[in-house]
Amino acid sequence: MGYLYHPKVKRKDGTIYQDPVWWAKFYLDGRPVRRSTKTRKKGVAARQLKHWEGNPRDADPKTDRATLDELTQDYLDDYRINNRKSIGQAEDYVNRLLKTWGGRPAVTITVSEIRQYIKEMQAEGYANATVNRHLTALKRMFNLAMQAEKITRRPHIPMLKENNVRKGFLGDLEHLAVTEHLPYMLGVVAETAYTYGWRREELLTLQRTQVDLVEGIIHLDTGTTKNQEGREIRLTASLWEKYKRLEVETRALEIKTGSTILWTFHRKGKRVKDFRKAWKNACEKAKIGHRLFHDYRRSAIRNMERARVPRSTAMKVSGHRTESVYRRYAVVDQEMMDDATKRIERRAGQTALVPKQLSLLRANSGQTSTKHGDGEDSN
């Protein structure tokens, strides 16, 4: 059975016709475009045509067809173009998001689905801060797609409340216990982070040319750090010897393979990009519970505070640009609180002597007055 075709209704250069819902025919950049208005009401169809004619971006049938896969690719390209150091983390966010919505047109992702995504991550034990990093990545993808006019709308992306208090620390014994169960090269990474509070990416992107083994100095070039500022740090005696050993092993591998190795930390010549599995296993074997490698950053700052390193110098060492951010890491832990209590007790002990000293002073003062009075009587 064929459809009944209604007379065409002209609006400007466009036309609407029914087949069986109302369709719109109009011109976009000189080419004819036909789109369904998805309605059987002529008035609604006429208004839709008017909207499309006035908003060519919304009228393009190719718009809103972009899948999340395409958005994630643009997101990663943006990281690479801007030479952002945390692209490894960005790839992790992308993989998780694609696992949920891969192949889907981006505009079909709803707020309720995003809330369900949040619940699933929380059920797996992810902290609110980690969930928010995924949501921030998703929001950035939609923003880039809007700028490129690949989509006409984006969903609301709710964010979770975060607890920014820094809590994780590793003490000397815990650090030694972990490094015993790490491969030697990763142990050097860990000790460097524990000593100077450097970020993981700053260490894993370290090239051999940046390590001066003659002077015992590491150079972090401008633009290679998160805050884009360069740093120059003299190695401790322990780290100096360990970096020398790594260099000997790397040269031996270069001779064996006949290839040049750029990176200080590598696996058979290829840069170490991630070692979370090795880190997790080392923590389990050391029996120190769940710890983050980033805990080393807080631990290093705490150690510098204890060592009375001037705050301005400590910030240069760790790479903090602002004191407000530094203070978030310089958390006072229980051991420092105990030390404060001991100092207070010592002060209290000294203060306890004051009444005795005052009594002696008064006694001496009284004796002096009596003697002085006796002298006056004798006169």
Is this model's pTM higher than 0.75 or not? no
Which residue segments constitute the domains of the chain, with CATH numbers given?
9-59 (no CATH), 68-147 (1.10.150), 172-329 (1.10.443.10)
Q: Do 173 and 192 contact (CB within 8 A), yes or no? A: no
Region 115-120 average pLDDT: 96
Region 169-191 average pLDDT: 93
- Range in 78-87, 134-143, 245-254 the model is least confident about: 78-87
Instruction: Give the pLDDT confidence score for residue 59 in this predicted structure.
Output: 67
Region 278-296 average pLDDT: 92
369 pLDDT above the threshold of 60: no
3-class SS of residue 161: coil
Instruction: Give the pLDDT confidence score for residue 20 in this predicted structure.
Output: 86
Environment class of 200 (CB within 10 Å of its CB; exposed 0-12, middle 13-18, buried 19+): buried
375 pLDDT above the threshold of 80: no
Region 152-176 average pLDDT: 82
Region 126-145 average pLDDT: 93
Instruction: Give the pLDDT confidence score for residue 379 in this predicted structure.
Output: 38
Cα-based distances in Å from 368 to 143, 361, 372, 373: 87, 11, 6, 9
